[in-house]
C-alpha cells in the first residue's frame, strides 16, 4: 500500500523533462513513488491525473495532479524554497537560463520526432529545430559560471544543463555540447558525483 504522504511521479526513463523533476525530488529528499511507463501505452491512472497523457506528471500527497516539468518545479520551490535562489536578481537570471536550456531540450525532442516519426520529415522543420538548438547552445556557452554553479553546487539551471548535455548526446550527437568546454566540464563533473544522476542516464536500449 502506498504511503499517503508520498508523491507519485509518472515518468519515462528517456524523458529529459521527467528526469529534471525526478532529480529535484531526490535532491529535496521528498518521499516519491516512481511509476515508469511506456508513453505510447494505455495508462488510465496517468490519464486520470493528466488528461494530456504526458510525462512527467506528479500526484501530490493531497491528491492534486501537476504536469509540465516547470510547473512541478514551481510547486517544489513553493514547498521548500530550495529550487531557485532567494536573491531576486539571481533568481531571475538562473530561471532565464533554465528556460533557455529546457527550450533547447524541447528543440531536440522536436527534431527527433520530426526525423524519426514521420514517413517524410519536413526539411523546413528539421532545419528550424536544428537552428534553434544551435542558437541556444551558443548562448548557453556564453553565460557566466555562476549561472550553473553557486557555492560549489549546481543551480537548477546547472542540473537542467547536465540533463540537456546527455539528452543531446543521445539524440543529436553531431550537435553535442563540447565536452572540454570549461563550463560543461565543471557542470558534468558535479552532476556525475550524484548516484541519482548517473543511474538515470537515458539509453536507447
pLDDT tens readout for residues 33-65: 999 988 778 889 999 999 998 999 999 999 999
Confidence of residue 30 (pLDDT cuts 50, 70, 90): very high
Cis amide linkage into residue 41, ω under 30° from 0: no
Any long-range contacts for 176-179 (C-beta under 8 Å, 24+ apart)?
177/137, 177/140, 177/141, 178/141
**Nearest Cα to Cα of residue 155 among 198, 109, 100, 91:** 91
Sorted by where each starts, the structural domains of the chain and their CATH numbers stand as: 7-80 (3.40.30.10), 88-199 (1.20.1050.10)
Cell, residue 202 = 537515458
* Averaged pLDDT for residues 90-103: 97
* Mean pLDDT over the full length of the chain: 94
Confidence of residue 1 (pLDDT cuts 50, 70, 90): very low
Cell, residue 11 = 515518468
Q: What proportions of the chain, in percent to the nearest 5, are helix, strand and coil?
A: 55, 10, 35
Amino acid at each position: 500500500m502506498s504511503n499517503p504522504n508520498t508523491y507519485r511521479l509518472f515518468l519515462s526513463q528517456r524523458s529529459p523533462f521527467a528526469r529534471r523533476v525526478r532529480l529535484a525530488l531526490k535532491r529535496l529528499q521528498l518521499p516519491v513513488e516512481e511509476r515508469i511507463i511506456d508513453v505510447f501505452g494505455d495508462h488510465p491512472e496517468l490519464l486520470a491525473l493528466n488528461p494530456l497523457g504526458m510525462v512527467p506528471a506528479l500526484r501530490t500527497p493531497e491528491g492534486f495532479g501537476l504536469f509540465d516539468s516547470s510547473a512541478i518545479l514551481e510547486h517544489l520551490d513553493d514547498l521548500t524554497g530550495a529550487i531557485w535562489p532567494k536573491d531576486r536578481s539571481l533568481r531571475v537570471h538562473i530561471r532565464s537560463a533554465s528556460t533557455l536550456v529546457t527550450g533547447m531540450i524541447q528543440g531536440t525532442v522536436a527534431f527527433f520526432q520530426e526525423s524519426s516519426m514521420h514517413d517524410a520529415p519536413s526539411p523546413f522543420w528539421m532545419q528550424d529545430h536544428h537552428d534553434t538548438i544551435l542558437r541556444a547552445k551558443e548562448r548557453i556557452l556564453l553565460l557566466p559560471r555562476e549561472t550553473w554553479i553557486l557555492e560549489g553546487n549546481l543551480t537548477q539551471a546547472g542540473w537542467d544543463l547536465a540533463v540537456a548535455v546527455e539528452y543531446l548526446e543521445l539524440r543529436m550527437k553531431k550537435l553535442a555540447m563540447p565536452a572540454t568546454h570549461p563550463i560543461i566540464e565543471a557542470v558534468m563533473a558535479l552532476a556525475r558525483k550524484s548516484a541519482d544522476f548517473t543511474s538515470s542516464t537515458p539509453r536507447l536500449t
